[in-house]
Amino acid sequence: MQRLNLLLGAAAAGFALAACGEPAPDAEDAADAAQETAAVDESVGMDGADWPVHEPTDAAITEADFAYRIATLADDRFGGRGPGTEKGEPAADWIAEEMAMMGLEPAGENGTWFQDVPLLQITLDEEASRYDIAVDGEPMGLELGADAVYWSQNAEETVTLEDSELVFVGYGIVAPEYGWNDYEGLDVEGKTVVILVNDPGFADPESGLFTGQSMTYYGRWTYKYEEAARQGAEGAIIVHQTEPASYPWEVVFSSWTGPQSSLVPPEGYDFVDVQGWIQLEVAQDLFEAVGLDFDALAIAAASPGFEPVALEGATLSAELHQSFETNISRNVAGRVAGDVRPDEHVLFMAHWDHIGERLNFAGEDQIYNGAVDNATGTSAMLEIAQRYATAGDTPDRSVIFVAVTAEEQGLLGSAYYAENPLVPLDKTVGGFNFDGMLPVGPTEDVVVIGFGASELEDLLAEEASEVGRYLSPDPNPEAGYFYRSDHVSLARKGVPMLYADGGSISRTQGREFVAQIEAAYRTDAYHKPSDEWDPSWDLSGFVEDARLMYEVSRRVADSDLWPNWYEGNEFRGLRDEMMDADTQD
């Protein structure tokens, strides 16, 4: 984190703070806000004298309010905002109080600020459990953390695999639209599949396979396990490679040890019994032990016609002892009602949760504060919400703001919302998502994650041009960020979503300056306890980005436009079908 703070400190020194351009509240306004705080605290069941506290905020989008909200959400007293935890859930209460103070109306269930999200939490007893690969009966001696991570999503006290045969299935993808089926003609019932992360397009961007360097949903770890379960496998192992995964092994370790949450599954839903990751070096040693060349097979797996390869003599055995419980976390929702077409809604979304507290690092700090991920995005959403709530002119359409939970466990809060929307999806005109904004100061461009997806980008381009900015595609498309944040839960239902914040070229320091900060964050702080608030951050770029998104969303809220996905986009058919059905009704 020291390297990251040095870079961000340089950013703070290198930029002049942007003038807010709008007045701060006077003393009378501040007194009114303090009185309103007490009333709101009482209405949501929290004592205003205790943590968390609230401060008066400006109706405008300002750096001071960004700093206050980010610092509060990233405070140790929220315990890393673990969903369903004693310390984490009060962060949802705090967000609801902020929404109430700024004048939003509740948009949750039964007139409340909240939507309950039922979670199944499973905790592995690491000391009592075992997991190892054997070659010709000789165990490799895999160590949890150093060599592998493993878990089960089955709500059973003991999950057992004995001598499950291993089969290398390349990328483990069945994608008819791309003419790809790694399981064709293969029966993996009762076996364990070994899988590469990402998809074949990443391995050879010039091949024309999939979408080239840009990761598709088929490259995500979530898909790999889902497909393995559909194929009847009892175990699934993903081989970690830093470049195609876009994050180091430490992220896998921190994310998949400790309590694991998922949505309470529907009756009869099948999971792979044992899921896991292994280090690249472990995979290379394993393949060599059975007379195969991992590196050569990984290259071959990216070629059409690749056929799975049995790892003869290699088996996985595991006995996982675990405890499980169901608990409730919450999405938080508030809205501004439109005065012309109040049943039509523009959606804003950001996840309030982070990883919580994990006793799996040697240092004294075990709290994953998630200042960047995602106190920044939640704060941006709240800034825009306050701008709407205090605007003199009410929007034609309603605007709903949803802070979702359990993103870090697999986009669970947004997935639950997509299945149980607080606003009908055919009345959701489009949406905006904020996640993990880096404090790099003002930028020339606006990076669009999943560039070239929807007509919302046209509106963004026009508004950006008005302030001398332009759109750029994601500079790291191989990381698959479009499929790694909450907007994709709505996209998979057809709702047009825009995920864009920040840029890749500093207005004063250039492209390399931003790239260095991004690289330092990924290496030193992403999903680590060192993702902490630093008062030296330059937040002027956050202000510019939030103001821009307000203007874009206002274009949608004050019009009769229904932006769609571009022709040829994978989600276009879903939206067309949804709207056609609505028209027929």
* Domains assigned to the chain: 2-103+337-584 (3.40.630.10), 122-324 (3.50.30.30)
Q: What is the pLDDT of residue 259?
A: 82
pLDDT score for 365? 82
| Sign for the pseudo-dihedral over CA of 82, 414, 544, 516 | positive
Please answer whether residues 173 and 306 qualify as being in contact, where contact means their C-beta atoms are separated by less than 8 angstroms. Answer: no
Report which residue type is found at 147: D
The whole-number pLDDT of residue 444 equals: 97
Is the bond leading into 56 cis (omega within 30 degrees of zero)? no
Q: Got the DSSP string for 477-536?
A: GGG-GGGSSTHHHHHTTT--EEEB-S-SSBTTTBHHHHHHHHHHHHHHTTTSTT----TT
Examine the pLDDT at 28 and tell me if it is beyond 50. no
Q: How confident is the model at residue 25 (pLDDT cuts 50, 70, 90)?
A: very low
- What is residue 364's predicted lDDT score, i.e. its pLDDT? 77
pLDDT above 80: residue 10: no
Reported confidence tier of residue 275, pLDDT bands at 50, 70, 90:
very high
Q: Would you say residue 255 has pLDDT above 90?
A: no
Average pLDDT over the chain reads 89
pLDDT for res 455: 98
Q: Which of 22-26, 30-34, 55-59 has the lowest mean pLDDT?
A: 22-26
DSSP state of 124: E
Q: What pLDDT band is residue 13 in, cutting at 50, 70 and 90?
A: very low
At residue 48, the pLDDT reads: 41
| pLDDT at position 584 | 64
- Give the pLDDT mean for 66-84: 96
Residue 328 pLDDT exceeds 90: yes
| Beta carbons of 114 and 72 less than 8 angstroms apart | no
pLDDT tens column, 303-325: 999 999 999 999 999 999 999 88
Phi, psi dihedral angles at 374 (to 5 degrees): -140, 45
Q: Is the pLDDT of residue 14 over 50?
A: no
Provide the 10 A C-beta neighbour count for residue 392: 5
Q: Cα–Cα distance between 542 and 562 in angstroms, integer?
A: 27
pLDDT at residue number 543: 98
**DSSP E strands: which ranges in 337-456?**
341-351, 356-357, 367-368, 397-404, 428-434, 445-448
Does position 24 have pLDDT exceeding 50, yes or no? no
Q: Is the pLDDT of residue 8 over 50?
A: no
Q: How would residue 360 be classed by pLDDT, with cut points 50, 70 and 90?
A: low
pLDDT at 45: 37
Q: By percentage, how much of the chain surpasses pLDDT 70?
A: 90
Digit-coded pLDDT (tens) for 190-202: 999 999 999 999 9
In this predicted structure, what is the pLDDT of residue 30?
Answer: 35
Region 405-411 average pLDDT:
92
Residue 583 pLDDT exceeds 90: no
pLDDT of residue 35: 41
Reported as a single tens digit per residue, the pLDDT across 509-548 is 999 999 999 999 988 999 999 999 999 999 999 999 999 9
In this prediction, residue 262 carries a pLDDT of 86
For the segment 540-569, what is each residue's pLDDT rounded down to a tens digit? 999 999 999 999 999 999 999 999 999 988
Question: Does the pTM of the predicted model rise above 0.85?
Answer: no
What pLDDT score was predicted for residue 20? 30
Query: Cα separations (Å) of 49 from 34, 40, 86, 95, 496?
Result: 12, 12, 18, 17, 42
Tokens 């962060």 map to which residue? 91
**pLDDT of the residue at 563:** 97
pLDDT of residue 362: 55
pLDDT computed for residue 453 by the predictor: 93
Tell me: pLDDT of 213 over 90. Answer: no
Specify the amino acid at residue 151. Answer: W
Q: What is the mean pLDDT of residues 449-471?
A: 97
pLDDT score, position 215: 87
Condensed to tens digits (0 to 9), the pLDDT of residues 142-200 reads 999 999 999 998 888 999 999 999 999 999 999 998 999 999 999 999 999 999 999 99
Angle at 439 between CA 372 and CA 498, to 5 degrees: 70
User: How are beta strands 235-240 and 192-196 bridged, if at all?
Assistant: parallel
pLDDT for 266: 76
Could you tell me the CA-to-CA distances from 228 to 192, 432, 465, 559 in Å, in that order?
9, 32, 46, 45
pLDDT, tens only, 469-497: 999 998 888 778 888 899 999 999 999 99
Q: What is the pLDDT of residues 87-115, one digit of tens each?
A: 999 999 999 999 999 999 999 999 999 99
DSSP designation for 178: G
Q: Which has the closest alpha carbon to 543: 491, 478, 467, 472?
A: 467
Burial of 3 (0-12, 13-18, 19+ CB in 10 A): middle
Mean pLDDT along residues 226-251: 95
Determine the pLDDT at residue 508: 95
Beta-carbon contacts of 48 under 8 Å, excluding residues fewer than 6 positions away, are: 37, 38, 41, 42, 54
Q: What is the mean pLDDT of residues 254-283?
A: 88
Residue 32 has pLDDT above 90, yes or no: no
Please report which confidence band the pLDDT of residue 585 belongs to, taking 50, 70 and 90 as the band edges: low
Strand 180-181 versus strand 260-263 pairing type = unpaired
